Amino acid sequence: MSLSLLLLLLPICSAQATSFYGTVMTYYPKNTYADGSVTVVLRYKLSFSTCQENASWTCSSGDCGNESSLVLNIVDQESSGEWCQREGTMTRQVPSNAPFQLVLDGNSWIDNVQNISGWSAETLVELRNRSDIGRANTSPQTTILPDLRVPSNCQRDFNLLAFDPDGDEVRCRFGNVTISSCTLSFIPVANSFEGAYVQQLVMEDFPRQNITLTQTDGSQTIITPNEAISKIPVQFALRVDPAVPSCTAGLYLPKFLPPTPANRAQLYTSVNQTLEINISAEADFYTISELLFSGPHNIVQTTSGTGQYTLRWTPSEQEDGESHPICFVVQAVSNSTKYQSELRCVIVSVGNATILPTTTPVVTTSITIPTTQSTTITITMPTTTTPQTTMTIPATTTPLTSTSTTPTTASPPPVTTPEDTTAITNISNPFVGILRMKLSSSSPLSEDYIRSTVMQQIRDELVRRGLPLNVIVRLLSSVQQ
């Protein structure tokens, strides 16, 4: 029996029950003023069986300052009225950067096998200046659907999104028990275990080296890699449904198809620029009924046919420099029985949001692209953490060299042909990385020319060299030398 199942079946409290479906909260520090006060924006999801029920966060320790604005909007609701998730945006101005803690509590969890009634969700906000990044800490970024489903006879891993803008290590735990990689594993059980199980997790960020936190009054605290900087709650229901005739995705259980983004893919967009996420799924023997998602409240969902969905989100200036999580499942139905696909989550970085460095080797590629101006471009890009495969393509008059410190044992031997060939790294989709470019030209290059012409030519060349057709190349910044 897996660790997650043992935790699922712990008997706690007495039954009472009706409406709460969980919560999650994240935060971003914003402005620091001359008097030492700090503004922080906290975003949270609040899920109940209806869109009218509510609960309030209260200050449990420290000086939580003044709540200057609070907006609560619907994110998504299940079509049969099972649950409704809303997003709250709370702005607080605190008198100093000292840590404080907020709590959300109540006593009306939905009916569940564990007979849990009460809940308590805590968020520890750490705003002291970090020695490693020179600014306040940002919490891990995540979200979750209120009600995840799995058939009782199917094994499934729920890979919770755990993204930290500061590059910290993120860990999840039930009580004092840490969950590796924030992944919940479900193993098949007897039908007597069917029903809803309450999941009450804590997500924390840990520095990768010793850091010093400095408070406004000058006091300092050293945090080690074994000490959490901040903590956020991740609470939801996991529902064990009746057995399905086959656990193979695409038959009874919905299966994602291209161009659906991979789980934990990192996407990019700019302020006032609409991002489109296209999602496709199929199930041969059940009817796909809907796409369920959790993310920013102003995401717009459209459908172009059975199993074909598009999520569109246009970030505002308030989201500039931030990263926002979006999670989704596709749900199928037969009579009154509902079955869900695997959970997938992506992280969307807006504008000048922090892009995390990878821990894998760097590939340096030199490409000469013929343009109306003689321009040489050198691109340096981190590879993905997925195993690499090597392919060969016919050589062209365009020089292309690729070097990597990745051990050769990680790649199969290249395929050779009678033609002259040039080996490149085939980076699996989705690929996320920073392209650091050096451009040399016989005449000055305007930024408009770079954005409109050079970026497109780079994209076309990368696609020709093996990257997917939907690869996006954007100019983040440029410096004249």
Instruction: Report mean pLDDT in 10-residue bins for the chain, 481 residues.
Output: 34 49 98 94 96 94 89 93 96 96 96 95 98 97 98 96 96 88 93 96 97 96 98 98 96 97 95 97 95 98 97 96 97 91 97 54 37 44 35 28 32 32 34 61 67 72 62 66 57
Identify the pLDDT of residue 69.
67
Phi, psi of 375 (to 5 degrees): -130, 130
Identify the pLDDT of residue 393.
25
Identify the pLDDT of residue 143.
98
Rounded CA separation 434/444 (Å):
24
Identify the pLDDT of residue 433.
60
Rounded CA separation 93/66 (Å):
5
Q: Are 106 and 20 in contact (CB under 8 A)?
A: yes
Q: Is the dihedral of CA 426, 350, 21, 106 positive or negative?
A: positive
Identify the pLDDT of residue 473.
75
Identify the pLDDT of residue 295.
98
Q: Are 127 and 102 in contact (CB under 8 A)?
A: no
Short-list 354, 355, 353, 267, CA closest to 311: 267
Rounded CA separation 121/126 (Å):
17
Six-digit token string for 416: 């050779």
Identify the pLDDT of residue 42.
96
Short-list 25, 8, 20, CA closest to 233: 25
Report the run of H or E that residue 448 belongs to, with start and end.
helix 447-449
